Amino acid sequence: MTLRHVVESQQFTVPLLMELFDRSRLMERIVARGGTLDYQNRILASLFYQPSTRTRFSFEAAMHRLGGRVLSTEHARAFSSEIEEEQVEDSIRIIGSYCDVIVIRHHEPGGAARAARVSPVPIINAGDGDGGQHPTQALLDLYTIYRERPLDGLSVAFIGELDRGRTARSLAYLLAKFERVKIFFVSPPEQQMRSDILQYLDRHGVRYELESDIDRVVGEADVIYQTRVRPGRPPRVAGAQRYAINSSVLQRMKPDAMIMHPLPRTVELDKTVDDDPRALYFRQAANGLYVRMALLTMLLE
Amino acid sequence: MTLRHVVESQQFTVPLLMELFDRSRLMERIVARGGTLDYQNRILASLFYQPSTRTRFSFEAAMHRLGGRVLSTEHARAFSSEIEEEQVEDSIRIIGSYCDVIVIRHHEPGGAARAARVSPVPIINAGDGDGGQHPTQALLDLYTIYRERPLDGLSVAFIGELDRGRTARSLAYLLAKFERVKIFFVSPPEQQMRSDILQYLDRHGVRYELESDIDRVVGEADVIYQTRVRPGRPPRVAGAQRYAINSSVLQRMKPDAMIMHPLPRTVELDKTVDDDPRALYFRQAANGLYVRMALLTMLLE
Amino acid sequence: MTLRHVVESQQFTVPLLMELFDRSRLMERIVARGGTLDYQNRILASLFYQPSTRTRFSFEAAMHRLGGRVLSTEHARAFSSEIEEEQVEDSIRIIGSYCDVIVIRHHEPGGAARAARVSPVPIINAGDGDGGQHPTQALLDLYTIYRERPLDGLSVAFIGELDRGRTARSLAYLLAKFERVKIFFVSPPEQQMRSDILQYLDRHGVRYELESDIDRVVGEADVIYQTRVRPGRPPRVAGAQRYAINSSVLQRMKPDAMIMHPLPRTVELDKTVDDDPRALYFRQAANGLYVRMALLTMLLE
């Protein structure tokens, strides 16, 4: 079971996911006891055409915790001429001759796949455009759920701007690999999950429902996966509260529900939720470290 | 004597300062012989919402000289959406799960205190807004003086735009902890040191004078602490020369005076001063490395 | 034979070049077997006033492959106040007290020389302005040629916007150090190589020809060194194809010609050339790692 590049979440089979999760638990234990691994001669390059401090730090910390080294760009796009922007393939071929693995965040869907096509070293997609993917986010999301309960038979509600959210798209692909999963997509009708994902779920026999009313779903789901609302995008400015998670929504959730969010958040997830034991989003972010460490060990061996 | 976060200079007691300075001297010796310490599994994250290459490099070099590792942002604010900017608490909670210590420069007074309130790891304030603090600058300033002469009985003249300078504010707090200190604040009346600092000095029985004429002070002070003038801020464009240190001012200083400046400088500190043996500002900057190494060892143990 | 700073390519003598190239081959072998060197306590600072991800990564990877540590700025100029920009000397004196070697890219010709004048540690010029130099690019270019054939007796055609290209200027200085070299400068007349370089070649007895027609040269040169065309600079938008290398130009080249380009490229070098065995530009970029590792070992000992 070798892994060459990580471009889309659907490329992971269930056995590969289980190997990744086994390794992730091992990484948790190694970090907890302040240990490291022997990757001291290996270099990770993070090539972020769009800035994302949290995601970048998560990958770079993972490489450091393995004992490795890091080359870093914070905002390659702002800092490149028009020329360079058009030549992601040339950049990857060159940077690939300096390092052992490249983490790329590109501003266009398909950017990571273009990189993978020419790269001499493994490519990890750290997000490629609105409507693209963010597979390692989906992997850490799934790992967070897996640490709490069986994945077969799970019911998951995705809430928010689902037409543009990378995280919901990538995680939906992964959930389709498990048995008896039920998905609720909760969103204003004009921001519902796109048909490519729905058709994928149909082909894989996954049950799903499209909803516009959060109240009809919130008491039924094992996982409430809230997603980011972009300020200024209509009609959310007025209607954002309709989809927000706050103390009144909390009361209607299952007692053992899991509240997740890829962060950063805005009005859609109230800070009063933070103290609820069902709020898992900070643990979810912390798990990113272990899953990315595990993934790097699989790509670098 | 444990140290959890470094937010304000006044949190340091005299014994804590002396422990820090002892460790700083040890760090000088370790660096001088090309040695290192065993922090190879520890990670520092520098989270700069405002850019400051020198300060950032000083912290990052300190962590490297200890044998440690670094995650770095050059300008987190420019690279973040409005969402992220409002969520410094969320950022800190997440980034704190990836690293062992966070150095933050925030653009608003109180930014570091907000971070410290939620952080799972130690926070170091590397400057928080005009009129905020910059405690490690004050620590290295004081260490620089301490290496040259006793702190009790010292007379210090602060010169420049004192109403907005973080460095003069932070150092004034520290000086108040020593005996028989005398402070001169030399500035155009409309840019004088703010009343919160003056009241603090009153409460601690520190003698001070407000002056607008540099000539009345320059022959009396042991330390001439010049501060940066921001170009374009009236009325300095015309009057900047009145407060500048140049070869004619040099002649009126004590023969063993110490000339200090937090750098970078503009017209207020002439380059002809650089060759005077009393000019200590480059040694002052170099001391930042040792003091920050020492501080990191205290926070990470 | 000690090397203090690397500011201009012409400072390298032939014996120094040969020592550098011997070390570069050694570095190739060390990297190929996944090894490293014992620079773990040494710090390189990359101070880029202009962004250049590829060049910066090449230096930083070189330091990492030696086992060393890196402080990094992606775009110091954008992130500095006007004050700081004017004070490159002060920045260098301070940053030089935190690290063991500084790589600087400055936006003005002479920026690296200014830095070298005050620096307490070795300075490497990584490009200083249009019409300035980029000596390590020239060193890796020459090393790439040297790995393929003897440097004495070489014929080299430089093609493109030669009046502003740093790379052609820096490599021309180096070529002048070898015997029986012949250079063709191929460019629209208004963008021809400047007279300072031509006079230098005259003084050193190097034969050269100024050409505006690529067809008169392409069959004669051992090395076809294509340079970047800046989009939007007249008259290239219309006439760029006249100087482009494409499959029809390929047919007229010598069977053992070497096609080089500093990258990034635009229309002047067609992607169809990539599969030709004479295309050496990706190997050229990869050689940057070895030459920069070798250079760092010479500067740091």
Residue B239 has a pLDDT of 64
* DSSP reduced 3-state for A155: strand
List residues in chain B touching C: CB distance below 8 A.
34-36, 51, 53-54, 57-58, 60-61, 64-65, 72, 74-75, 228, 230-231, 263-266, 282, 285-286, 289
User: Which chains lie within 8 Å of chain C at 3 or more CB pairs, if any?
Assistant: A, B
Shared domain for A185 and A249, answered yes or no, is yes
Select from A40, A79, A90 the Cβ nearest to the Cβ of C265: A90
What is the distance of C-alpha C260 from the center of its chain? 12
- Residues of chain A short of pLDDT 70, as ranges, are 1, 78-86, 231-240
Residue A11 has a pLDDT of 95
* DSSP reduced 3-state for A269: strand
* pLDDT tops 90 at residue C103: yes
Compute the count of residue pairs across chains B and C with CB atoms less than 8 Å apart.
Answer: 69
Contact C282 A93 (CB under 8 A): yes
Question: Residue with structure tokens 């100029």?
Answer: C77
Select from C65, C74, C264 the Cβ nearest to the Cβ of A73: C74
- Residue A84 covered by a domain: yes
The residues, any chain, with a CB within 8 Å of residue B222's CB and separated by 6 or more, are B149, B154, B155, B156, B254, B256, B257, B258
Shared domain for C41 and C162, answered yes or no, is no
Chain C residues with CB-CB distance to B54 below 8 A: 91, 94-95
Q: Give the gap in angstroms from C-alpha C21 to the nearest C-alpha of chain B.
A: 28
Select from A57, A231, A285 the Cβ nearest to the Cβ of B71: A57
Number of domains present in the structure of chain B: 2
Taking CA atoms, what residue in C is nearest to B231?
C83
Contact A80 C53 (CB under 8 A): yes
Contact B43 A35 (CB under 8 A): no
Contact A61 B71 (CB under 8 A): yes
Report which of residues B292 and C128 the model is more confident about.
B292
Q: Give the gap in angstroms from C-alpha C200 to the nearest C-alpha of chain A.
A: 32
Select from B58, B72, B231 the Cβ nearest to the Cβ of C98: B58
Write a three-state SS string for C154-175. CEEEEECCCCCCHHHHHHHHHH
Residue B80 has a pLDDT of 56
Amino acid at B264: P
* DSSP reduced 3-state for B223: strand
Contact A285 B97 (CB under 8 A): yes
What backbone phi and psi angles, to 5 degrees, belong to A75?
A: -160, 70
Taking CA atoms, what residue in B is nearest to A67?
B41
- Residue B46 covered by a domain: yes
Nearest to A3 by CA among A142, A129, A125: A125
**Which domain, by its residues, includes A219?**
149-279
Question: Residue with structure tokens 């390794």?
Answer: A23
Chain B residues with CB-CB distance to C69 below 8 A: 64
Distance CA C262, CA C168 (A): 9
Total Cβ atoms within 10 A of residue C38: 9
Taking CA atoms, what residue in C is nearest to B265?
C83
Contact B94 A282 (CB under 8 A): yes
Contact C57 A84 (CB under 8 A): no
- Residue A3 covered by a domain: no
Residue C231 has a pLDDT of 64
Distance CA C6, CA A283 (A): 49
Residue A82 has a pLDDT of 47
CATH number of the structural domain spanning residue B272: 3.40.50.1370
Chain C residues with CB-CB distance to A79 below 8 A: 51, 53, 74-75
Chain C residues with CB-CB distance to A95 below 8 A: 53-54, 57
- Residue A144 covered by a domain: no
Shared domain for B112 and B21, answered yes or no, is yes
| CB burial string B89-123: b at 16+ within 10 A, e below | ebbbbbbbbbbbbbbbbbbbeebbbbbbeebebbb
Shared domain for C194 and C103, answered yes or no, is no
What is the distance of C-alpha B193 from the center of its chain? 16
Select from C228, C230, C282 the Cβ nearest to the Cβ of A94: C282
Chain A residues with CB-CB distance to C289 below 8 A: 97-98
Shared domain for C153 and C274, answered yes or no, is yes
Question: Residue B212 burial by CB count (10 A; 0-12/13-18/19+): exposed, middle or buried?
Answer: middle
Nearest to B15 by CA among B7, B27, B23: B23
ipTM of the complex: 0.94
- Residue A51 covered by a domain: yes
Contact A73 C54 (CB under 8 A): no
Nearest to C220 by CA among C261, C167, C183, C192: C183
Shared domain for B103 and B70, answered yes or no, is yes
Nearest to A145 by CA among A183, A114, A117, A113: A183
Shared domain for C120 and C158, answered yes or no, is no
Distance CA C137, CA C287 (A): 10
Q: What is the pLDDT along chain B (301 residues), one digit of tens a residue?
A: 579 999 999 999 999 999 999 999 999 999 999 988 999 999 999 999 988 999 999 999 999 999 999 999 987 776 555 455 558 999 999 999 999 999 999 988 999 999 999 999 999 999 998 778 999 999 999 999 999 999 999 999 999 989 888 899 999 999 999 999 999 999 999 999 999 999 999 999 999 999 999 999 999 999 999 998 776 665 554 566 789 999 999 999 999 999 999 998 888 999 999 999 999 999 999 999 999 999 999 999 8
Distances (CA, A) of B242 to A3, B27, B74, B218, B289: 68, 39, 35, 13, 33
Shared domain for A41 and A72, answered yes or no, is yes
Contact A45 C57 (CB under 8 A): yes
List residues in chain A touching C: CB distance below 8 A.
40-41, 43, 45, 47, 69, 71-76, 78-84, 86-87, 90-91, 93-95, 97-99
Write a three-state SS string for C30-65. HHHCCCCCCCCCCEEEEEECCCCHHHHHHHHHHHHH
Task: Supply the mean pLDDT for chain C.
Answer: 92
- Residue C23 covered by a domain: yes
Select from A69, A76, A93 the Cβ nearest to the Cβ of C53: A76
Average pLDDT over residues C250-273: 94
Select from A79, A82, A86 the Cβ nearest to the Cβ of C75: A79
Shared domain for C23 and C121, answered yes or no, is yes
- Residue B1 covered by a domain: no
Q: Are strands B223-226 and B155-159 parallel, antiparallel or unpaired?
A: parallel
Shared domain for C292 and C270, answered yes or no, is no
Contact C84 B282 (CB under 8 A): no
Please, are residues A26 and A19 in contact by the beta-carbon 8 Å criterion?
no
Helices C281-300 and A88-95: angle between axes, nearest 10 degrees: 40
Residue C239 has a pLDDT of 64
Q: Give the gap in angstroms from C-alpha C201 to the nearest C-alpha of chain A.
A: 32
The encoded tokens of residue A241 equal 């509260």
Shared domain for A238 and A294, answered yes or no, is no
- Residue C2 covered by a domain: no
Residue C230 has a pLDDT of 73
Contact B54 C82 (CB under 8 A): no
Select from C51, C58, C75 the Cβ nearest to the Cβ of A98: C58
Chain A residues with CB-CB distance to B80 below 8 A: 51, 53
Residue C82 has a pLDDT of 46
Residue A238 has a pLDDT of 55
Distance CA C222, CA C182 (A): 10
Chain C residues with CB-CB distance to A73 below 8 A: 53, 74
Nearest to C293 by CA among C66, C10, C50: C66
List residues in chain A touching B: CB distance below 8 A.
34-36, 51, 53-54, 57-58, 60-61, 64-65, 72, 74-75, 228, 230-231, 263-266, 282, 285-286, 289
Shared domain for C40 and C123, answered yes or no, is yes
Amino acid at B125: N
Q: Give the gap in angstroms from C-alpha A70 to the nearest C-alpha of chain B.
A: 9
Residue A173 has a pLDDT of 95
Contact A57 B99 (CB under 8 A): yes
Please, are residues C59 and C74 in contact by the beta-carbon 8 Å criterion?
no
Beta strands in chain C (DSSP E): 43-48, 69-73, 101-106, 123-128, 155-159, 182-186, 207-211, 223-226, 258-260
Average pLDDT over residues C12-24: 97
